């Protein structure tokens, strides 16, 4: 945790457009997980430092973690599959948890889910079983918080591209993000955010090369 400092946006391009004081600023290494609380009114900025790095993310109400991000409630309420600027990220009880107040990427995915050792065996073959995966990260992040596998639900994949073709074909394809692009999430309630900085190396979601991301919270 860094000391609160007043923003000087010209000093760092990753801070452009942010207001308020920085209350947190850390880099999450490639393949690692990250858990942090964000208070109502604070903004979490995620910076895709090197480009096309999928950031798998779940949100829990800090007061009651049985209330959590719901991809289905979110897309049904907005009538659209993609998460763009202005999207309200809703809970399984229909309440706004966070809002995408700004993003320099056209849209983000919330249908592709998290990679797991088990789904990797289906998608690529049993030879991938020893590889790291997002659900492994999620479990390691969850257990110290007294959460379990039951708490891992359909997530958001920031900086990941999952189009749907006219015939229904769906897949994770080359990304539309780039080095230095960002997404800003304003907390609409006190939340705990859990991230897996995706370690996948079998599809284009990380450009076949997992890289670090930067997490900045402003008050």
Applying CB under 8 A, the residues found at the interface with another protein are: 66, 70-73, 75-77, 79-82, 92-95, 107, 111-114, 116-123, 125-126, 135, 148-155, 162, 164, 166, 168-172
Task: Name beta bridge partners: 141.
Answer: none
H or E element in which residue 78 lies = helix 71-78
CA angle 206, 137, 219 (to 5 degrees): 85
Task: Name beta bridge partners: 102.
Answer: 184
Residue 82 — φ and ψ, nearest 5°? -100, 150
Q: How far is the CB of 40 from another protein (least distance, A)?
A: 18
Query: Distance between alpha carbon 103 and the CA centroid of its chain, in Å?
Result: 13
Strand order of the β-sheet with 191-197 is: 33-38, 191-197, 55-61, 156-158
Q: How far is the CB of 135 from another protein (least distance, A)?
A: 8
Q: How far is the CB of 34 from another protein (least distance, A)?
A: 21
Select 42 or 109, whichever has its Cβ closest to another protein. Answer: 109
Select 163 or 180, whichever has its Cβ closest to another protein. Answer: 163
Select 123 or 214, whichever has its Cβ closest to another protein. Answer: 123
Q: Buried (b) or exposed (e) across 33-71, using 16+ Cβ within 10 A?
A: bbbbebeeebbbbbbbbbbbbbbbbbbbbbeebebbbbb
Select 14 or 95, whichever has its Cβ closest to another protein. Answer: 95
Select 40 or 84, whichever has its Cβ closest to another protein. Answer: 84
């Amino acid at each position: 945790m860094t000391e609160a400092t007043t923003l000087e946006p010209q000093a760092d391009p990753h801070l452009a457009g942010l207001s308020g004081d920085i209350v947190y600023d850390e880099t999450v290494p490639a393949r690692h997980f990250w858990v942090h609380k964000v208070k109502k009114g604070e903004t979490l900025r995620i910076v895709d430092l090197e480009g096309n790095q999928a950031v798998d993310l779940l949100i829990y109400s800090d007061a009651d973690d049985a209330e959590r991000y719901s991809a289905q409630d979110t897309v049904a309420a907005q009538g659209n599959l993609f998460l763009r600027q202005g999207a309200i990220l809703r809970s399984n009880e229909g309440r706004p948890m966070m809002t995408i107040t700004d993003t320099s990427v056209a849209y983000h995915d919330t249908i592709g889910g998290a990679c797991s050792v088990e789904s990797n065996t289906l998608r690529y073959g049993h030879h991938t079983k020893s590889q790291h995966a997002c659900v492994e990260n999620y479990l390691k992040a969850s257990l110290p918080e007294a959460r379990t596998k039951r708490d891992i639900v359909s997530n958001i994949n920031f900086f990941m591209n999952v189009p749907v073709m006219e015939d229904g074909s769906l897949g994770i394809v080359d990304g539309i993000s780039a080095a230095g692009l960002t997404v800003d999430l304003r907390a609409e309630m006190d939340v705990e955010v859990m991230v897996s900085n995706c370690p996948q190396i079998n599809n284009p979601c990380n450009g076949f090369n997992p890289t670090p991301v930067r997490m900045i919270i402003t008050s």
